[in-house]
Amino acid sequence: MTQRFPALTAFLTALFALVVLPSPAAAQLEGTVTDDSGRNQIAVAVPALPTPQVLPTAAGTTEQLGKQISDVIVADLRSSGLFDPVGRNRVRAIGYSEVTSPAFPYWSGRNVESLIQGFVRSNGDGKLTVGCYVYDVALGSELSRHGFIVEPADWRRAAHKCADSIYSRLTGESPFFDSRIAYIAETGPKDNRTKRLAVMDSDGANHRFLTSGGTALTPRFSPDYKSILYLSYSGGSPAIYIYEIGTGKQRLVTRTNNATFAPRWSPNGRNILYSMAIAGNTDIYRISANGGRTVRLTNSPGIDVGGSYSPDGSKIVFESDRSGSQQIYVMNADGSGQRRISFGGGRAATPEWSPRGDLIAFTKIAGNFRIAVMRPNGGGERVLTNSWQDEAPTWAPNGRVIQFFRTRRGSGKTSIWQVDVAGGEERRLKTPVDGSDPAWGPVRP
């Protein structure tokens, strides 16, 4: 078999290898299907991934995995809002020999613009090889091919990597599906909520609670996913801890009798921003992730809180009420050059700098709480959501999608939502219980 399909094996070299072979040049696809927002959606067919031989694995047979991987790819593409994917229940199954020689006339007769074909193979060492091919139906040509070698238990990651390769190839944007989210899982009555630290994949799968009871707030994944900064009341007062995911160990970021909260990582993970209240006055401080000396970055008599680094680490956007109400300010990373950027009316809170650097997402408070974006100079404000209380935006690693949490009036019940930064439909992310304070991590290597 492998001799008949050398392309299927030539590019598979390393553990979870991602090797891109040169692809024939092809024009960027133009969509023809239009959704409610007036944006073009790309029609994509994703048949089940066939297998050269049905073999059992630790996560099911290779045939079952081929179907499940197709389903995850379809769900990923649909969630982006940029695609109109057609899954295995609505298209015919393909054979293994067809993977590298698609039936282009068949697909073009079904209004498919892009065709995704791939395969699942169980290797002798117990690992899986997942192939992922993107074809342009109209041109009758291959746009990209990738192969991923994973443990069977990590089959979803191979699906996300495949979806990422499709998304990147067809939209020209950076990938984001193979990433994780830390958030706060909420249960219990409004006046006595239990708030637990939890993590999940970007699509809600592989969910895990990391703490058991009490009150945990405002988590942030470290850039390498090895640890999480978060606030806990476990010591009786609000204090910031670093939770090591591998070991479950945690330690205080800084030892102090003052309240510390609103923790944030620097882009390289070496520094931590936090807010500390001394005698009621809150300012923003920086400390090395390894501890050591604390550097005070703000010293206004107002509340200076939060903070989010620009992607290059040179600037910090933060929130202050020094003008009399919550507004957004930018300063250099050493605290110098502080200046207000939000003048859009109402109050502006919880700024988060896009990983692309081009926009700042924030909570706009004017009556209701809405998610909005503006340029780092304060211009070009756009409001993206409209509900009673939407709060605390966090960016997808490619800077195209924003997650936030929504509080329901009265019950106080919370849920996690996401919206495309270009606007359009808001989508709710399924979580086992109520969810708040989402924090999106980077694309996994």
Partner 1 sequence: MKKLSTPLIAIALAATMAGCAKKPPETLPPEPVDTTSGSDTDVDPTANQQTGPTPGSQEDFVATVMSDRIFFDTDKFNVDGEDQRVLQSQAQWLSQYPNVSIVVEGHADERGTRDYNLALGERRANSAKNHLITLGVAASRIRTVSYGKERPQALGSNESAWAQNRRAVTVTVR
Strands of the 227-232 sheet, one edge to the other: 216-221, 227-232, 239-244, 250-252
Q: What φ, ψ does residue 240 adopt, rounded to 5°?
A: -95, 135
At closest approach, how far in Å is the CB of 384 from partner 1?
A: 16
Q: What is the DSSP letter of 247?
A: T
277 binds partner 1 (CB under 8 A): yes
Q: Is residue 237 within the footprint of partner 1 (CB under 8 A)?
A: yes
Q: Which range touches partner 1 (CB under 8 A), out of 39-47, 121-129, 229-237, 422-430?
A: 229-237
Nearest to 437 by CA among 215, 128, 150: 215
Site membership for partner 1, residue 262 (CB under 8 A): yes
- Select from 305, 373, 416, 429 the one that contacts partner 1 (CB under 8 A): 305
Using N-to-C axis directions, what is the helix angle for 155-171 and 62-80, rounded to 10°?
40
The CA distance from 47 to 90, in Å, is: 8
Count of residues that interact with partner 1, criterion CB under 8 A: 43
Q: Does 387 bind partner 1 (CB under 8 A)?
A: no
Q: Are 374 and 380 in contact (CB under 8 A)?
A: yes
Is residue 282 close enough to count as binding partner 1 by CB under 8 A? Answer: yes
CB of 40 vs partner 1, minimal distance in Å = 36
Amino acid identity for residue 196 in this structure? R
Question: Min. distance of Cβ 254 from partner 1 in angstroms?
Answer: 16
Q: Establish if 303 lies at the interface with partner 1 (CB under 8 A).
A: yes
CA distances from 137 to 47, 89, 111, 119, 141 (A): 14, 20, 9, 19, 7
Binding to partner 1 by residue 369, rule CB under 8 A?
Answer: yes
Which of these segments, 98-106, 134-142, 240-248, 404-412, binds partner 1 (CB under 8 A)? 404-412
Per-residue contact flags (x/-) with partner 1 for residues 49 to 88, judged by CB under 8 A:
----------------------------------------
Considering the complex, what minimum distance in angstroms separates the CB of residue 436 from partner 1? 8
Per rule CB under 8 A, is residue 189 in the interface with partner 1? Answer: yes
Q: Are 51 and 67 in contact (CB under 8 A)?
A: no
DSSP 403-427: EEEEE-TTT--EEEEEEETT---EE
Which of 321, 340, 387, 415 contacts partner 1 by CB under 8 A?
321
Closer to partner 1 at the Cβ: 68 or 338? 338
C-beta of 54 vs 278, nearer to partner 1: 278
* H or E stretch covering 163: helix 155-171
> Is the Cβ of residue 190 or residue 251 nearer to partner 1 in the bound state?
190
Q: Is the dihedral of CA 31, 32, 36, 38 positive or negative?
A: positive
- Which listed residue (217, 242, 273, 341) binds partner 1 by CB under 8 A? 217
H/E run at residue 65:
helix 62-80
What minimum distance in Å lies between the beta carbon of 392 and partner 1? 7
Contact, 126 vs 58, CB < 8 A?
Answer: yes
213: Cα within 13 Å, side-chain hemisphere:
3
Q: Which is nearer to partner 1, 70 or 232 (CB)?
A: 232
Query: Would you give the end-to-end CA distance of the chain in angstroms?
Result: 31
Least Å distance, CB 247 to partner 1, is 28
Find out whether 157 and 404 touch, Cβ atoms under 8 Å: no
Give φ, ψ of 427 to 5 degrees: -120, 135
Which residues, 324 to 343, sit near partner 1 by CB under 8 A? 325-326
If one asks whether residue 392 binds partner 1 (CB under 8 A), the answer comes out as: yes
Residues contributing to the site for partner 1 (CB under 8 A): 189-193, 195, 215, 217-218, 231, 236-238, 259, 261-262, 275, 277, 279-282, 303, 305-306, 319, 321, 325-326, 349-350, 363, 365, 369, 388-389, 391-392, 407, 409-410, 412, 437
